[in-house]
Structure 1
Amino acid sequence: MVVLMKITISKRTVDALKPAAVPFVAFDTKLAAFGVEVRPSGVKSYRLWYRRGARLRKLTLGRHGSITAEEARDLAEKALRAVAYGRDPAAEKTEIRAAAPLSTIFAEWLDQHIDKKRKATTRAQYRQIFDASIRPVLGSRALADISRSDVGRLHAKLSDRPYWANRTIAVLRSFFTWTERQGLRPLGSNPARLIERFREAKRERLLTTDELARLGAALKSSECVEWPWALAAIRLLLLTGARKGEVLALRWDRLDLVAGTARLADSKTGPKTIHFGLAARTVLEAIPRLTDNPHVICGRLKGGPLVGLPKTWERVRDRAGLADLRLHDLRHAFASSAAMGGMPLLTIGRLLGHSQPSVTDRYAHFSSSPLVSAADVVSAAIAAQLAAPRGDADGEA
């Protein structure tokens, strides 16, 4: 932390402070150790520094805008009087927050940490998990009182949904780690840390040749009744292995049909290039372009992308007689087809946009077909020798 200057703290002087590349503190000229900390993001917080024995303590008084400079100064003066009487305002504030209901601190975590560092889909999922599973059981409990047995009982209660139960524990583990960093719980006290995950059954829904033909026929027959851009999106999902959000985010100005690529500024794993084979490029070339809409997959609202693709998909898959097939299964179908075609896993991972090679390993067993073919040749040769007349076998070197 760099002390940039000393100022007479007021609304005018604090408003005038501009963020720098690193956080800095502007201390008040009238009240020692009272200052405003300015973060690179532009957030300005009033703070007070004081000593408790040999230890330097920091007390956050509030954000500029949430409280006024005068209110912050009053709080600082009251805190210094408390210090003079032997009290520790920062510790008292931490104790009060630790006694607050989990739901209150969880909301702070979402606002101060998750909303700034996670993608929109992740933020939505965290809130959904909290509202559905965590709040009803632990929301009213004091943060400091929640134990590993409490979290374990919640996990066990969700045992009929292993995936959801494990995601709930992952959210709680991240939340309690943050509370430890904030000093709201002792270090190493995370009650979700040692909870053993449930075994999750991996769902691998493959498309047979007959099912692919039925899906193709259903897409063809749907052309007269469904939104054309929705059908194009389904075809692109199957022909590229891209995620639903990636296909719906395609824009014409980021698409190079000659090179067969589209550059996405962001995806689940960060910036990504989608590669289009000849069949996918044919689909793209047939998509109508609207002059007032930059999106490849247009929605019904003027200038907007498509929303509601799952509803179209449900009708198409029902026409194909594939009621158990999910949209995301089309991505798996692309990957498994590539693996069975003998493509290296590294190449498949690049096509899918996997950030870690281990994610693509799930398709490794599909890539064994060349080995099976080799085993067929070797085993057939040995079987032929076993079946040969003895005289012929003796004559072999």
Structure 2
Amino acid sequence: MDAPLFSFDSLSPDCSCADFLLAYSMLARREQRGFARVAWVCEKWRDYFGDRPVSSLTRPDISRYIDFRRMHGLSNSSINREISVLSAAINYAVKRWGWNISNPVSGLYLKMPEGRTRWLTREEASRLLSVARESRAIHLHDFIRLALNTGMRRGEMLRLEWRRVDFTAKRILLEGIHTKNGKRRYVPLNRTALDALRSRLHFRDQKVPGSPWVFLQKNGKPVLQVGFAFRQALEKAGIEDFHIHDMRHTFASWLVQEGVPLSELRDLLGHSSITQTERYAHLAPGGLHKAVQILDDFLA
């Protein structure tokens, strides 16, 4: 059944939360990346507040919703994502529709734990690559090599097309539609990453000439999942507590340990701000020791 059509400009702060959030989810479908997630979250808010006027929402109302979602086992990060959708919807109405209401979500975001920074040692990486080379998943070895040497996300690699690989300039182009934050970035390629890509190109030319996909199956379709083969390789290599995304952390951790500045790492990872990159600052070689050594001569 098709959703009802709205005249968005006719909505007022006194309309129901159900109508307002349905309208906003329809706008998200037209204007935003990740609209499916926005629509799903809007439905949760609609179920909870129903016919309540938007203008009647208060901070205690939002707090009760947070407690309600906690009772259902959601993590702080998941709840924060949900309240960010409501906050964005109200801010949109204020800025675009001229609503004169305050945002009850303001200041209610939950404290987040430090991000995960599990990374491989060189010896662990060597074991993993050795096992992956023998895997029945013929793309796994090159997938891991590319991940460890570029810091690209899983989706960025699995959706990678040959037209965005430049062997001459030694870089990959990621347009905004391919990246998490919607911003274009170039990914520089070192020798190992280039070798992994040439290996995939040889496979493509032998099996499915002309296919646009870097990671593809023998039938020409793109590889959609690598999780099962990756977990098998981890088990055979004796590596615990490690996920695919942790290869991105490994890339970052290795570079910081070798003295690469955080500002350069930020650009390599495609972070929106240096704050996201600072989780790796503690790995910088001898940085804090050099700082306190400045005082050695003060009392000499």
Q: TM-score w.r.t. structure 2 length?
A: 0.80
Deviation at 1:307, TM superposition (A): 0.8
Alpha-carbon distance in 2 for matches of 1:199, 1:61:
37
Equivalence for 2:287: 371
After superposition, residues 317-336 of structure 1 pair within 5 angstroms as 317-336=234-253
> Which AA in structure 2 matches 1:312?
A
1:104 matched to 2:15? The reply is no
Contact 1:230–1:297, Cα closer than 8 Å, also in 2: no
Larger radius of gyration: 1
Give the match for residue 79 of structure 2. Answer: 165
**CA spacing shift, 1:366–1:300, aligned 2, 3 Å:** same
Runs of 5+ unmatched residues, structure 2: none
313 and 107 in structure 1: CA distance in 2 versus 1, 3 angstrom threshold:
farther
Contact persistence 2:115–2:279 (CA under 8 A): no
Residue 294 of structure 1, CA deviation: 1.1
Partner amino acid, structure 1, of 2:107: L
Question: TM-score, structure 1 length as denominator?
Answer: 0.62
Cα displacement (A) at 1:262: 1.5
Distance 1:129 1:61 in 2: 19
Q: Find 2:156's aligned residue among 246, 260, 266.
A: 246
Structure number with greater CO (CA < 8 Å, separation at least 6) is: 2
Secondary structure of 1:188's match? coil
Identity across matched positions, percent: 25
Alignment of 1:1-397 (within 5 A): 94=11, 98-100=14-16, 102-112=17-27, 114-119=28-33, 122-131=34-43, 133-139=44-50, 141-159=52-70, 161-181=75-95, 186-222=99-135, 225-226=136-137, 228-266=138-176, 267-269=179-181, 270-287=183-200, 288-289=203-204, 290-299=208-217, 302=220, 304-367=221-284, 369-371=285-287, 374=290
Paired residue secondary structure (2:62): helix
Check conservation: 1:300, 1:306, Cα contact below 8 A.
Answer: no
Structure with greater proportional strand content: 1
Cα distance in 2 between the residues matched to 1:116 and 1:127 = 12
Task: Return 157-166 or 286-295, whichever deviates more.
Answer: 157-166
Moved more, 146-155 or 318-327: 318-327
As a proportion of its length, which structure holds more helix? 2
CA apart distance, 1:233? 2.1
Q: Distance in 1 between matches of 2:217 and 2:67?
A: 42
User: RMSD value over aligned CA atoms?
Assistant: 3.3
The whole-number CA distance in structure 2 between the counterparts of 1:275 and 1:362 is 22
List alignment gaps of at least 5 residues for structure 1. Answer: 1-59, 64-89, 383-396
Structure 1: distance between partners of 2:50 and 2:230: 37
CA distance in structure 2 between the aligned counterparts of 1:307 and 1:200, rounded to whole angstroms: 30
Whether the 8 Å contact between 2:162 and 2:212 is mirrored in structure 1 is yes
TM-superposed deviation, 1:107: 2.2
1:299–1:111 Cα change, 3 Å: farther
Q: How far is 1:61 from its partner?
A: 9.2
State the 1:183 CA deviation.
Answer: 5.2
